Chains A and B, each alone.
Chain A
Amino acid sequence: MNTGVESSPACPIPIRQYPRVLLAHGGGGTLMHELLEKMFFSAFGKPPAEGRHDSVVLPFPAGRLAFTTDSYVVRPIIFPGGDIGSLAVHGTVNDLAMSGARPLWLSAAFILEEGLPMETLWRVVRSMRDAAGRCGVRIVTGDTKVVDQRHGDGLFINTAGIGVIEHPLVIAPASVRAGDAVLLSGDLGRHGMAIMSVREGLEFQGKIESDSAPVSDLVLQLLAAGLEIHCLRDVTRGGLASALNEIAREARRKITVDSSSIPLREDVHAACELLGLDPLQVACEGRFVAFVPAAAADQALFLMRRHDGGAGAARIGAVEEGDPPLVVLKNDLGASRILDMAGGEQLPRIC
């Protein structure tokens, strides 16, 4: 299983002493300090020279700030292609990237369930460290709480992130214009189906791995090329259907999508057909849609495809004037239908 974790040094909390998380590890006493020192600081870096304090003090960067937060409750904690730790870094970094921000700093707050194997926590912490390294962000502040057994589900993580916007564009739904091209950075549905494949009672032949990955580097490259980006949205819960509907509603525009242009891996498509799921409503964790002027679409697509994170990018549709705002999906048969958001929860606790 590839989780991006490097060679695994032994867990710094001696197993013989505390193989599992105790309530006392969140109690503010010596055990908690030992956990912070040996586990978190050793992975995320030492506190600043002026010493540990209740808040971290950071230099104010030039430009505008982007600030976001997200909580991660995925079950299972470790899934094909990733784990809750890398997901908690990628998800928040990607939210910052959707404003065109360069991600700088993250906070990491852990809610641990009493009894969580220390090895599991260590694996997740290392995975966060590695993911942060790949994204070029630092985890600069954090918190740890422990709840009684059966009052959590192993491990929940909240991350908040701060990024700096170094360009004058307003990358937001309000900037979307009729005539914009809609680009998708890669194939759909792998995260959702990877989680589905390991949930109780579902066994697929072959393995579908999550697409969990940072997209910030790709976005920064698009910006560095001087591309006029109108809007970005990461394709997470609710899938492409939710991402496009949210933007259509906020921008009060109609979005038309050509279903044959949407990249979809055959194994994901087959698994969706089997389970009666619409792949356009299944979550990703490393994909985004970009709205750019039609004249810039080819250049944007070229830049995206040149990057690892956008190798499978495609131009999937266009924006039109339209009221009521909605998303229309054209199919191969020449007919079209409304692409609506999924009604309820397709699959709970996916991220």
Chain B
Amino acid sequence: MKYLDEYRDGPKARDYARRIARLTTRPWAIMEVCGGQTHAIVKFGLDELLPKSITLIHGPGCPVCVTPLEFIDKAIEIASRPGTIFCSFGDMLRVPGSASDLLSVKAGGGDVRIVYSPLDALKIAAQNPSREVVFFAVGFETTAPATAMAAHQAAEQGVKNFSMLVSHVLVPPAMEALLSSPDCRVQGFLAAGHVCAVMGCAEYEPIAAQYRVPIVVTGFEPLDILQGVLMCVRQLEQGRAVVENQYLRVVRPDGNPHARKLIRQVFAVVPRPWRGLGPIPASGLRLRSQYETLDAEKRFGLAARTTAEPAECLSGLVLQGRLKPVECPAFGKACTPEHPLGAPMVSSEGACAAYYRYRPHALAADPAR
């Protein structure tokens, strides 16, 4: 398929792997930030092509995985209200809350619908004026512009029965949080290309300078990732730490100014707890006061609540890159996609789901890799 096959070319991939091996003189640990990249790595076996001295650490870039338990519980509470239509991206439906999940709410008679865009949820609201329609807005800077557009259009069209449960989060503060941890093993980053397509590259420059880590803005296809690793290793070997852009065909240095403006117009930056990572300052988005009527938490008077993760779920360590999914004692045993303990096992960008799907047997037998 055009624009896809050329980035999955076998001989070129092996050529990149050889160039990386020639360049590498000592062990390096590189984190791919985005769960989409993790899936490509595990699906295409890219880590198997790399020299053993390069370790890829899977990052926290799975929006479903880091959405706080509290928000899942709030979503379940709203979706369970009679007459409500609750719209969500499909990935969120099987994410376990404290006691239930959205799929169980649906099975119990709740009107939970999968949408591919927040604008579809707005359309559903316009078609069902007598019912409350709520959109579960999760995701990084990538999906925030679409949520902002839905908020903007809802306000402009005066759609009264539409609201959103907003749990958007921002990537750079999470990278800083990881780098600030005393256990941090990450020496270089492959930044999430699609986040940078919106936000541009500038906000990563202070991080690269302050923590002396190379950051390579990277795409999602096998050759993108291998080229990103090559660029990152080259910087590490040369002792450089700057922001570089591998994903030139998509990411412009200033990102998408229109999308950024829309995000700024609709959302304010707030501190936010991340599932698995804990509270991170200035890492979340909430609706600004002029869009307050669209805030589902306020509309339904949802109170703050305290939640606790199941003790046997080690997804926090997985999200911080401190544990490979297969090293978790629950992996594939107490925790499977059918009976998940944590979100990374069910999200299409979750690291546990990637390992479970593509190499459950091979890695269980060889946890060293």
Residues of A within 8 A of B (CB): 201-202, 266, 269-270, 273, 275-276, 324, 326, 331-338, 340, 343-344
Task: Scan B340-369; emit 1 where CB is below 8 A from any A CB, else 0.
Answer: 000000001000000011111110000000
- Measured between beta carbons, the chain A residues less than 8 angstroms from B1 are 266, 269-270, 273
User: Given A201-B116, A343-B337, are A333 and B361 also a contact pair (CB < 8 Å)?
Assistant: no
Is the beta-carbon distance between B49 and A340 smaller than 8 angstroms? no
User: Given A333-B8, A333-B49, are A340 and B357 also a contact pair (CB < 8 Å)?
Assistant: yes
User: B254 on the interface (CB 8 Å rule)?
Assistant: no
Contacts A337-B42, A343-B338, A344-B338 supplied; 18 other A-B pairs, CB < 8 Å: A201-B115, A201-B116, A270-B1, A324-B361, A326-B361, A331-B8, A332-B13, A333-B8, A333-B44, A334-B13, A334-B14, A335-B46, A336-B45, A338-B360, A338-B361, A340-B356, A340-B358, A343-B356
Is the beta-carbon distance between A201 and B359 smaller than 8 angstroms? no
User: Given A201-B116, A344-B94, A344-B338, are A337 and B358 also a contact pair (CB < 8 Å)?
Assistant: yes
User: B10 on the interface (CB 8 Å rule)?
Assistant: yes
Is the beta-carbon distance between A334 and B115 smaller than 8 angstroms? no
For the complex, count residues of B whose C-beta is within 8 A of A. 30
Q: State A276–B228 Cα separation when bound (angstroms).
A: 23
- Measured between beta carbons, the chain B residues less than 8 angstroms from A338 are 357-362
Is the beta-carbon distance between A201 and B14 smaller than 8 angstroms? no
User: Given A273-B1, A273-B4, are A334 and B43 also a contact pair (CB < 8 Å)?
Assistant: no
Chain B interface, >50% SS class: helix
Is the beta-carbon distance between A331 and B337 smaller than 8 angstroms? no
Is the beta-carbon distance between B9 and A331 smaller than 8 angstroms? no
User: B77 on the interface (CB 8 Å rule)?
Assistant: no
User: B120 on the interface (CB 8 Å rule)?
Assistant: yes
- Measured between beta carbons, the chain B residues less than 8 angstroms from A266 are 1
Query: Please, which residue of chain A has its CB at the minimum distance from the CB of B340?
Result: A343
Most buried by B among A201, A276, A332, A333: A333
Q: How far is the CB of B62 from chain A (nearest CB, A)?
A: 13
Is the beta-carbon distance between B45 and A337 smaller than 8 angstroms? yes
Is the beta-carbon distance between B10 and A333 smaller than 8 angstroms? yes
19 A–B pairs (Cβ distance < 8 Å), ordered by A = A201-B115, A269-B1, A270-B1, A273-B4, A275-B116, A331-B45, A332-B13, A333-B46, A335-B45, A335-B48, A336-B45, A337-B43, A337-B358, A338-B358, A338-B362, A340-B356, A343-B337, A343-B338, A344-B94
A-B pairs with lowest CB-CB distance, top 10: A335-B45, A343-B337, A332-B10, A337-B358, A333-B13, A335-B48, A333-B10, A269-B1, A338-B359, A266-B1
Question: Which residue in A201, A276, A334, A343 is a CB contact (below 8 Å) of B10?
Answer: A334
Task: Scan B17-54; emit 1 where CB is below 8 A from any A CB, else 0.
Answer: 00000000000000000000000001111101100000
Q: How far is the CB of A223 from chain B (nearest CB, A)?
A: 36
Which B residues from 58 to 99 make CB contacts under 8 A with A? 94
Is the beta-carbon distance between A333 and B357 smaller than 8 angstroms? no
- Measured between beta carbons, the chain A residues less than 8 angstroms from B43 are 337
Q: State A275–B90 Cα separation when bound (angstroms).
A: 11
Q: How far is the CB of A333 from chain B (nearest CB, A)?
A: 4
- Measured between beta carbons, the chain A residues less than 8 angstroms from B361 are 324, 326, 338
Q: How far is the CB of A255 from chain B (nearest CB, A)?
A: 14
Q: State A273–B336 Cα separation when bound (angstroms).
A: 24
Most buried by B among A324, A326, A336, A337: A337
Is the beta-carbon distance between A335 and B94 smaller than 8 angstroms? no
User: Given A331-B44, A335-B45, A337-B358, are A202 and B116 also a contact pair (CB < 8 Å)?
Assistant: yes
Q: State A338–B359 Cα separation when bound (angstroms).
A: 5
Q: State A338–B42 Cα separation when bound (angstroms).
A: 10
Q: State A201–B44 Cα separation when bound (angstroms).
A: 31
- Measured between beta carbons, the chain B residues less than 8 angstroms from A270 are 1
User: B222 on the interface (CB 8 Å rule)?
Assistant: yes
Q: How far is the CB of A121 from chain B (nearest CB, A)?
A: 28
Is the beta-carbon distance between A337 and B49 smaller than 8 angstroms? no
User: Given A270-B1, A338-B362, A344-B337, are A332 and B8 also a contact pair (CB < 8 Å)?
Assistant: yes
Q: How far is the CB of B162 from chain A (nearest CB, A)?
A: 16
User: Given A326-B361, A343-B337, A343-B338, are A335 and B115 also a contact pair (CB < 8 Å)?
Assistant: no
Q: State A331–B358 Cα separation when bound (angstroms).
A: 12
Q: State A201–B46 Cα separation when bound (angstroms).
A: 35
Question: Which residue in A275, A324, A335 is a CB contact (below 8 Å) of B49?
Answer: A335
Is the beta-carbon distance between B42 and A333 smaller than 8 angstroms? no
- Measured between beta carbons, the chain A residues less than 8 angstroms from B48 are 335
Query: Please, which residue of chain B has its CB at the minimum distance from the CB of A264?
Result: B1
Q: State A335–B9 Cα separation when bound (angstroms).
A: 12
Q: How far is the CB of A286 from chain B (nearest CB, A)?
A: 23
Query: Please, which residue of chain B has its CB at the minimum distance from the CB of A200?
Result: B113
Q: State A266–B361 Cα separation when bound (angstroms).
A: 31
Query: Please, which residue of chain B has its CB at the minimum distance from the CB of A276?
Result: B348
Query: Please, which residue of chain A has its CB at the minimum distance from the CB of B16?
Result: A333
Q: How far is the CB of A350 from chain B (nearest CB, A)?
A: 15
Query: Please, which residue of chain B has its CB at the minimum distance from the CB of A260?
Result: B10
Query: Please, which residue of chain A has its CB at the minimum distance from the CB of B4?
Result: A273
- Measured between beta carbons, the chain B residues less than 8 angstroms from A324 are 361
Is the beta-carbon distance between B359 and A333 smaller than 8 angstroms? no
Is the beta-carbon distance between A340 and B360 smaller than 8 angstroms? yes
Which B residues from 166 to 186 make CB contacts under 8 A with A? none
- Measured between beta carbons, the chain A residues less than 8 angstroms from B45 are 331, 333, 335-337
Q: State A344–B120 Cα separation when bound (angstroms).
A: 24
Q: State A336–B359 Cα separation when bound (angstroms).
A: 9
Q: How far is the CB of B220 from chain A (nearest CB, A)?
A: 11
Q: How far is the CB of A293 from chain B (nearest CB, A)?
A: 27
Q: How far is the CB of B228 from chain A (nearest CB, A)?
A: 15
Q: State A337–B42 Cα separation when bound (angstroms).
A: 8
Q: How far is the CB of A206 from chain B (nearest CB, A)?
A: 14
Q: State A334–B10 Cα separation when bound (angstroms).
A: 7
Most buried by A among B4, B13, B44, B336: B44
